[in-house]
Structure 1
């Protein structure tokens, strides 16, 4: 006789999938690809929103002066860096949340949590009396959006077979990364500032930053509902935190984290800092409202847009050529183009805010600065996609194809993503280093430091994963 308890435990659970075999061709062709594609689509939407909220301060900080707030350049760079620090710290627990709560369930929770930074933002920017410490606290909660990336990537990793992980993870990440560009493109339009290369004119009623907060709060509600209705949990995604934390003992986890600081850390750090870099080096506020020189809101979104667009390309190239080779090529590109950006900075006259003539002179170099900076972004995007392709390949080479390798790879994605995102905090801070009196000198020194780091990353990638003699790890000959 079946008891009530037994019937309850065997009752089907809505939105839970117990039979999931993506590596079996028949299962994948008949059922798996449709389910995976649906979950990928809504995951991209939720992650896209998370990235937008994460970087909402990147462009809004440059518009705070128009709202009556008088913060120094150092305070503004710290404001855009703070969400990146919190987001990086949250990525590890967000990764562990997927096997604990289920990918769908955690997407619902994490999307709903975005109401905290968006509503807080909307209220704070509308009150000229809001103190700087309150802005820092609210900006820190925007880091919730940065954590979404880790849980989303860990979740999607389970849905796809090995040969399709690179493209799937690349699309998922690119959809999220694109949120950075979209917020930088549309926020000036939403709030009444000029934008989109001047096609949108400034509102006669002035800037209303709070509007952007309310719009994204509404989108957070939409993402929460969509995840509830259309996404699934996988029963096979089960592991204890202790099992997941075992990846921290794996040397390759830390090598990949080193590389990811260089690729994704650069992408998110440069994305956060680019509006302020343009404003401080190429623009003067007078005459209002658009000033003299280069208006930062016209071009702020381009870097993140290029980096997002090239991320799937990095995953696609890694699927065909091997992630290690593509990653090495990406770092070589980052070295060359970062040096080119530094060269353009050396041609500028410091402190354009002191003179419209200086701003006009610096403007003549902006085209070179923008082109070289966009090429840096393109290289970071390719590197992001190829690094994330490498991680599952490394654990598959060490553990074989199977559930254990997939679980360890998903945990490693979280660890690597968490450490890598720290670059997003360090880069804006480096541009206004407290030990340097002159912000312009700090910017030039920062690009020198970044170049040296990219050289170290290229050497590490070559030595551990590309060089044929690096057979001690049994990985050099694999398609990694």
Structure 2
């Protein structure tokens, strides 16, 4: 095999795609897959930037806008909520419309919230209008789900970890990038419309490049049965709880960090902008390391000790918040960002191993076990990604209530500390404690493998 079969449909459709075939991959497949990866990363990167746009815009909204800290936290909560919910339909859109076609559509849709924000971003606009426009910005959160689904289909199993890690990391970096751009604009005494004016043409460029250089794969089809099976599996929801603690923390803190600095520590928007991008940047860059450590030592073990670190960092944040120690608060908050990024990699890496262990427990072996595990893990990832993003909603609502009740973020940090304790207990009880269970000598080998496998996922 030297290349994909000629397409029979318009719109750059590839009818036959077999990346597991070494000859095909070397001669044609790798070049096509990498090209699609780069332009998928670009679109997803801008999607993340638009999703987190309001975490930056609220820094521009001074007293003349008439919004309280609680109003701003509710605004960013709405954006996060929509971004989490739309991840579910975006996961299935690739199979319905094609990866290239949906990338064009999803990138173009980003114009709606960006142009709308450009129009309404001025004092005197009603709070309900800001909420509506913020709700529209949530669609940027869906680009991650469709991009990961699309790129997953292009690469062979032995290359998926690298490709998906690069795709996810490239998208996540959209968060600190828009914060850095905002810093430059605030420093130059520019207004929020300057920021929006920069991103509007970038969105057009991303959509045009996707149209010119990406491809659709006919082999990508929705498996509604797998989605139903994944939704019925308890491990999908257990891992969702753990992913809320890692990715939910990452995206929630990305939205809230600047507001906490301005409302809790009296920083000006410019002073806050100097600090807010560091945490998301490091958290994005370290995500692949979390996956690598999970490969080497087992995802459950890395996740367990990562939650110990997150809990310890949060406990220090409680002290720093009570003492109003800005240097301690910022430095430890950055550490918490890094740990959330590390946990993103280790928790997501656990998912395929869990379903592989379950396949072995069913008595499946070899390719049958691999296929079964891949089918359920692929379906569960979309659900876990969506539910995990809801953690960002919880974080912003917790900060909102904490500032309303106590005038600081201390109460919210206490709640986060408790949640990380729950995640530690769940990880140990479900995925590590089982390795200590004595398996009877008469038990099938597959059962023994399943008992031991969770520690290695």
Normalised TM-score (structure 2): 0.89
1:460 is the counterpart of 2:436: no
1:136 is the counterpart of 2:131: yes
Q: Distance in 2 between matches of 1:13 and 1:432?
A: 50
Q: Distance in 2 between matches of 1:251 and 1:228?
A: 40
Determine which of 65, 89, 92 is the counterpart of 1:69: 65
Counting only pairs closer than 5 Å after superposition, residues 201-220 of structure 1 correspond to structure 2 as 202-203=188-189, 207-220=190-203
Pair 1:183–1:298, CA change in 2 (3 A)? same
Q: Deviations over 1:244-288 (max 9, x none)?
A: 233101111111101100000000000100000011122266xxx
The corresponding residue for 1:430 is 398
The corresponding residue for 1:82 is 78
Q: Please, which moves more after superposition, 141-150 or 402-411?
A: 402-411
Determine which of 355, 364, 369 is the counterpart of 1:395: 355
1:477 is the counterpart of 2:453: yes
Q: Distance in 2 between matches of 1:475 and 1:88?
A: 33
CA apart distance, 1:407: 4.0
1:20 is the counterpart of 2:17: yes
Contact 2:60–2:191, Cα closer than 8 Å, also in 1: no
Contact 1:121–1:138, Cα closer than 8 Å, also in 2: yes
Contact 1:44–1:172, Cα closer than 8 Å, also in 2: yes
Q: Distance in 2 between matches of 1:435 and 1:75?
A: 11
Contact 2:353–2:453, Cα closer than 8 Å, also in 1: no
CA apart distance, 1:30: 3.6
Q: Distance in 1 between matches of 2:297 and 2:23?
A: 27
**Structure with greater helix percent:** 2
Q: Distance in 1 between matches of 2:451 and 2:105?
A: 38
Name the SS for the 2:44 alignment partner: helix
The corresponding residue for 1:116 is 112
Q: Distance in 2 between matches of 1:93 and 1:340?
A: 39
Pair 1:161–1:387, CA change in 2 (3 A)? farther
Contact 2:45–2:172, Cα closer than 8 Å, also in 1: yes
CA apart distance, 1:332: 1.7
Q: Distance in 1 between matches of 2:87 and 2:41?
A: 17
The corresponding residue for 1:302 is 278
The corresponding residue for 1:383 is 343
Pair 1:460–1:434, CA change in 2 (3 A)? closer
Q: Distance in 2 between matches of 1:209 and 1:331?
A: 37
Unaligned segments of structure 2, at least 5 residues? 1-5, 360-367, 440-446
Name the SS for the 2:125 alignment partner: coil
Q: Distance in 2 between matches of 1:110 and 1:173?
A: 16
Q: Distance in 2 between matches of 1:156 and 1:436?
A: 43
The corresponding residue for 1:277 is 260
Q: Deviations over 1:335-380 (max 9, x none)?
A: 11111111211212xxxxxxxxxxxxxxxx2221111111111110
Q: Distance in 1 between matches of 2:243 and 2:267?
A: 36
RMSD over aligned CA atoms reads 2.3
The corresponding residue for 2:102 is 106
Determine which of 387, 396, 400 is the counterpart of 1:419: 387
Contact 1:153–1:413, Cα closer than 8 Å, also in 2: no
Q: Distance in 1 between matches of 2:94 and 2:8?
A: 22
Q: Distance in 1 between matches of 2:109 and 2:341?
A: 27
Contact 1:167–1:316, Cα closer than 8 Å, also in 2: no
Pair 1:222–1:449, CA change in 2 (3 A)? same
Q: Please, which moves more after superposition, 140-149 or 159-168?
A: 159-168
The corresponding residue for 2:364 is none
Name the SS for the 1:95 alignment partner: helix
Normalised TM-score (structure 1): 0.84
CA apart distance, 1:436: 5.0
The corresponding residue for 1:326 is 302
Pair 1:401–1:43, CA change in 2 (3 A)? farther
Determine which of 407, 412, 416 is the counterpart of 1:450: 416
The corresponding residue for 1:355 is none
Name the SS for the 2:62 alignment partner: helix
Contact 1:22–1:161, Cα closer than 8 Å, also in 2: yes
Q: Distance in 2 between matches of 1:104 and 1:401?
A: 31
Unaligned segments of structure 1, at least 5 residues? 1-8, 195-201, 349-364
Contact 1:116–1:141, Cα closer than 8 Å, also in 2: yes
Number of aligned positions between the proteins: 433
CA apart distance, 1:240: 4.3
Q: Please, which moves more after superposition, 80-89 or 224-233?
A: 224-233
Contact 1:158–1:406, Cα closer than 8 Å, also in 2: no
